[in-house]
Amino acid sequence: MTGAAQRSKAGPRWGIDARLLIFLGPALLLVLALFVYPFLYGVGVSLTPSEGREGIFSSYAAFFGDARERASIWNTLRIAIPVTAISLLLAVPLAYRMRRPIPGQRPISALFVVPMTLGVVLVAQGMLTFLGPAGWFNKTLMGMGLVEEPLRLVHNYIGVVISLIIAEFPVVFLLLLGYASGIDPNLERAGRMLGAGAWQRFYRITLPLMMPGIAVAAALSFVATFAVFPSAVMVGEPAGSTRVIALAAWQAAYERFDFSMASAIAITMAAIELLFVAAILFIRSRLYRGPSTGGKG
Amino acid sequence: MGKRRKGIAGGLSAWLVYAAVALFVVLVGGVFLSVLLNSFAVSWFGGWLPDGFTGKWYAFAVDEFGLWNVLLVTLIVALSVTGISLLVGVPAAYALARRDFRGKSLVLGLLVLPLLVPPITYGIPLATMLYEYRLAGTLIGVILANLAPALPFVVLVMTPFIEQIDPNLERAARMMGAPTRRVFTRVLLPLAVPGILAAGLLVLVRTVAMFELTFLTAGPNSQTLVVSLYYAAFSAGIRPGQSIDAMAVIYMATTLLLLLAALRFVNPVNMVMRVRD
């Protein structure tokens, strides 16, 4: 009797039973086999010294000991942090402006989906043509007499930053738009009634409520730009200032066939990246976390 | 709900924002137009416009890059990854949405991690592992590698969607004597179709665009469009730039079609919600 009553109760059940395993098991098995196991396998490989080196941390020591290899970390951060910051600086005010349904909001946000379809190769190819020394951009600037010599915008650090902003800004913007449009307009109305100016309302009401979204967007954008390497090769200077850490890992694996070193670089990369994400999420956890919908009544 | 919108914060800041956005639109438009024009150009050296127009680079792309084969591989990989991740992911999302159990937060953490860690960090060991099982370079290897981020993505998108389906509907069906399978196929699945379509299309788009994992695991006959495009661009100089641009335009047309299909089911705002808050 009690058993039957308990079963028909609406509350959550806590046990792990056969049905739960049937539903959840296959997914867990696949994630374990395709993500957790390879990751641990990579840790293992990185701790197995390759020929000519000794000691379990020798691959890490070799990576951090070589100035050129070590520089790839800095090269990556030097790209990922500004790209994330610039995308946020552009996207926050824009999302704020578009937070209420305005005429044509859907087409405008659809317009920002288009860059997501371009693909890294098209962006790179287009940048080489459009921003190159003989491209339309430089032609226009020189025609207007703004510059004497064509600006060098590709095959260097700036090229990589531009190509990543093209890829990341739309994502950050759409993400923030979702957060900004979820904020109850009554909160701002209340602020206005109490005498807050436009800037004060943004700074004191909307921005703090958007902060969790900004943190998530920053984390996702950082993750995406930190790992990138096709654009660093195609519009960057892959032998020098844009030799990013992902490229260093790839070169170790498939140009030198030093899989221990490649795994060590990959694990280092994951560690640095997760550290940044953890820092962002930590800052976020100290900010206001509560409803952004306002009270009823 | 008042309709008036008063108090636009600061005229100057508004103009700065509009100017920045205009610059972005000019940049993306210029990039896209120059690729599109160049893909039809006979040749284009330094002038404002190409010297003449031709469609031969698209024919060149079909012959030289084995376009049909690449498109077929892309289709097989994307559809298999989408199918398998839905088949395995939707039941898992159902379990996570409806049940509480010990270790649930651990399971959720395990599912978020593959989306946070850059693919190349587990891609290199995964590729090494697939080599040892002689799966690297095969279609199966590419499909398996792409499942690693696709499956967690489906689970994380579907869980909140199933959460907002009223559990009373399932209870009612059960009370009237429907067995679990019937409840699933007749009650839950029809209600979850919009979410499944959205998740499926998003995974399809992401798989077509997934560069790193496919790049690390594909062989000459299992390259998807994005990887063979990268190889074409990487070996630029051997092939005319216009033919690479033609391939890039074909790639964009493919993803744009998929995204437009996805936009019928999902608001663009939700398109990028990769990790649930």
Please give the Cα distance from B189 to B197 (Å, whole number). 11
B21, B46, B121: residue with CB nearest A267: B121
pLDDT value at position B236? 60
> How far is B101 from B95, CA to CA, in rounded Å?
10
Tell me which residue in B17, B122, B226 faces A97 most closely, judged by beta carbons: B17
Whether residue A146 lies within 8 A of chain B, CB to CB, comes out as no
Cα–Cα distances (Å) from B50 to A235, B38, B45, B61, in that order, read: 22, 7, 7, 19
Query: Which of A265, A227, A267 lies closest to A248, judged by CA?
Result: A265
| Chain A residues touching B233 at Cβ < 8 A | 121, 124-125, 234
Q: What local confidence, expressed as pLDDT, does residue A296 receive?
A: 44
Query: Which residues of chain A does B128 touch, with a Cβ-Cβ cutoff of 8 Å?
Result: 41-42, 45, 259
- CB-based contact A117 B211, cutoff 8 Å: no
Q: What is the pLDDT of residue B86?
A: 92
Q: Which domains does chain A have, with CATH numbers?
A: 71-285 (1.10.3720.10)
Dist CA B102 CA B208 (whole Å): 36
**What pairs with residue B239 in β-bridges?**
B236
Q: Tokens representing A31?
A: 């994630």
Look-up: residue for tokens 């640095």?
A272
Which chain B residues are within 8 Å of A223, Cβ to Cβ? 116-118
Q: Can you give the pLDDT at residue B223?
A: 84
- DSSP conformational letter for A101: -
Residue of A nearest to B114 (CA): A35
pLDDT tens for each residue of A165-199: 988 888 888 888 877 777 777 888 888 888 877 77
**What is the b/e burial string over B98-130, where b = at least 16 CB atoms within 10 angstroms of the residue's CB?**
bbebeebeebbebbebbbbbbbbbbbbbbbbbb
Q: Residue B118: which of A225, A83, A87 has the closest Cα?
A: A225
Question: What are the pLDDT tens digits along chain B (277 aa)?
Answer: 333 444 444 566 667 777 777 888 888 888 888 888 887 877 777 677 777 777 777 787 777 777 888 888 888 999 999 999 999 998 888 888 888 888 788 888 888 888 888 888 888 888 888 888 888 888 898 999 999 989 988 888 888 778 777 788 888 888 888 887 888 888 888 888 877 887 888 788 888 888 888 888 888 888 888 888 888 877 766 677 778 888 888 888 888 888 777 777 665 555 444 333 3
B138 has a chain A CB within 8 A of its CB = no
CA-CA distance, A44 to B202, in Å (whole number)? 34
Q: What is the pLDDT of residue A7?
A: 45
Asked if residue B104 lies in contact with residue A211, where contact means CB atoms within 8 angstroms, the answer is no
Half-sphere exposure of A25 (CA within 13 A, CB side): 8
Asked if B261 has any chain A CB less than 8 Å from its own CB, the reply is no
What does the pLDDT read at residue B7?
A: 44
Contact pairs from chain A to chain B, CB under 8 Å: 278
What is the CA angle A278-A279-A280, rounded to 5?
A: 90
| ipTM of the predicted assembly exceeds 0.85 | no
**Predicted pLDDT of residue A208:** 80
Pick the CATH number of B58-271 from 1.10.3720.10, 3.10.129.10, 1.20.1250.20, 1.10.1740.10: 1.10.3720.10
| Three-state SS at B265 | coil
Angle subtended at Cα B35 by Cα B34 and Cα B36, rounded to the nearest 5 degrees? 90
| Residue ranges of chain B that CATH labels 1.10.3720.10 | 58-271
Chain A contact for B251 (CB, 8 A cutoff): yes
pLDDT on residue B27: 87
Q: Which residues of chain A have pLDDT under 70?
A: 1-16, 101-106, 288-297
Buried b (16+ CB within 10 A) or exposed e, A73-89: bebbbbbbeebbebbbe
Interface list for A 243-262 with B (CB within 8 A): 246, 249-250, 253, 259, 262
**Which residue in B3, B13, B34 has the most chain A C-beta atoms within 10 A of its own C-beta, making it the best mutation to test that interface?**
B34
Q: Do residues A232 and A80 lie in contact, with contact meaning Cβ atoms separated by under 8 Å? A: no
Nearest CA in chain B to A168: B272
Interchain contact, B114 vs A122, CB within 8 Å = no
Cβ atoms of B39 and B245 within 8 Å: the answer is yes
